[in-house]
Structure 1
């Protein structure tokens, strides 16, 4: 009888509803449905405690999903977006709350990516993609996340994809690298040029050990129907002219580079690896006159060479040798300010 009265009071929005539901819960503390009905009537702080208690009781699936959804919404209202994300477990309400919580945390790009992942990104919008490769243990997820955040700060309407063999703790969209028994390290860049990689439009590859300082839009606007790479002429670490450095590459997916990967069968690579050490040299074997960023965007890309001042006008600093960005964050202010 008391339960029926509580239901009627709730529907009538009677002030007595809270008292009646408290009685129902007191009479049967394991009644998770009653606990949920009571929580829905409480002030936010009390409601959070009530819903959290129900979650710990392992209620039926529909009640559990509703509790998580309500908790996410309450934590958003209370200004605790990190806690809200813990309860965004699926469903429409979960996605709504995830969108709001991520934006409250300053992770708008991640919220946008999550929405597109759910609804399906129209091909018309897949025009610009930044890609990176994380393989093995040389670089951890922090390197990917810092690059992802830097790209988000310096360009709009750009997709970011990390190709990796270990997506744990990576905030960006990830694609799994295929199991390659013979390609390792920088040679895995070749896979990005394959049809299997599923890339479209203009693609900008960026090495993980890169610091982004300024706008990136102009890199996508370089006039080329094929590709653009770093030239070796102005890179102090290369000590050679006329070559390519693959720390930064732009290409038009589908229009360029299929042979870069397609020629690398296991048997062929076994022979090639006895003559060619670097992926850069493989590019030079295939293409003898690619445009370079130094020619198309003078001064926008530089390499780090013991320079403790912010490179004037540069948008990208590459670190092909040592030190790496993580070695410099405590010593060089512009690295610390931008590699975050």
Structure 2
């Protein structure tokens, strides 16, 4: 199938949705949050295997193929397709892309995510800051500039899969070796799990809060936004009160 080339724009918000874990409401709310927190024009693109229910302001494109040999599991590596040359060559996308996981909650301005200096920016690892590994919930790059990330993976996937647990570990290592890896200011992208939830025993009487300086709160591991809003956690004996601020921000 061929697709008409998209008009060239300088800034893109890029997200990805595949499978059945997340519904279209995640993409729709992510667009709403981005529109409220990013000044000026931008194009919002969702790479997806199912565009049904996604609001019309979002341009839905097929996920570029990872192109691994038959029988090789693709789970854990799909984000590498954001570096596919097809986004430029087939869809005509040019400019800067800010990739966002669809389960983040935007609580502050996104403007500086497009002006922060650095060739490739990603969240630094929360638990082991001495490691180079980044959290790929939020990363920024020039479309088409790092196609070698995907090309190298395709030709060395067996050794890469043995060495690295997932795409963000491989991606961070690859770009670090090229001297292109940089990190967002730590306060911009805090973890809900590590930075929002009060420590025991305060978690029983204080609700999770938006960390100071936060712009995008990252949901990974134990909670997603609707769970946090309802005060649910998927680990036993780990109580949280409802994070009502999620409802104020996580909406269309």
Instruction: Find the counterpart in structure 2 of residue 227 from structure 1.
Output: 120
- After TM superposition, give the deviation of residue 317 of structure 1 in Å: 0.5
Partner of 1:278: 166
Matched, 1:217 2:116: no
Match of 1:247 among 109, 127, 137: 137
**Structure 2 residue aligned with 1:316:** 216
Where do 4+ consecutive residues of structure 1 move more than 6 Å? none
Aligned to 1:301, the other structure's residue is in SS state coil
Structure 2 unmatched runs, 5+:
199-207, 231-241
Cα distance change of structure 1 residues 223 and 239 upon mapping to structure 2, 3 Å threshold: closer
What SS does structure 1 have at the residue aligned with 2:182?
coil
Quote the residue 1:144 is aligned against: 27
Q: Cα gap change, 1:179/1:219 in structure 2, threshold over 3 Å: closer, same or farther? A: closer
Distance in 2 (alpha carbons) for counterparts of 1:334 and 1:195 = 39
Structure 2 CA distance for aligned equivalents of residues 271 and 140 of structure 1: 34
Q: Distance in 2 between matches of 1:194 and 1:178?
A: 7
Q: 1:126-159, CA deviations, whole angstroms, 9 ceiling, x for partnerless residues?
A: 0000101111122111111111111111113111
Residue 170 of structure 1 corresponds to which residue in structure 2? 54
Of the three residues 138, 151, 161, the one matched with 2:45 is: 161
Equivalenced residues, count = 211
| Matched residue SS, 2:105 | strand
CA contact (8 A) 1:191 1:197 kept: no
Change (3 A) 1:208 1:183: farther
When the two chains are superposed, the root-mean-square deviation of aligned CA atoms in Å is: 2.2
Match of 1:134 in 2: 17
Between the aligned partners of 2:114 and 2:60, the Cα distance in structure 1 is: 21
Shift of 1:191: 1.0
Helix, strand or coil for the counterpart of 2:153? Answer: coil
Q: Name the one with the larger helix percent.
A: 1
SS at match of 2:163: coil
Structure with greater Cα Rg: 1
Which of 1 and 2 has higher RCO (CA within 8 Å, sep 6+)?
2
Quick one: structure 1 residues 262 and 121, their matched pair in 2 at CA, closer, same or farther if it must change by over 3 Å? closer
Q: Which residue of 2 aligns with 1:60?
A: none
Q: TM-score, normalised by structure 2?
A: 0.76
Q: Is the 8 A contact 2:15 2:47 kept in 1?
A: yes
Number of the residue aligned with 2:147? 258
Which of 171, 184, 192 is 1:304 aligned to? 192
- Secondary structure at the residue paired with 2:50? coil
- Once the two structures are TM-superposed, the CA of residue 183 in structure 1 deviates from its matched residue by 6.0
Cα shift at 1:279: 0.7
Show structure 1 runs of 5+ residues with no match.
1-117
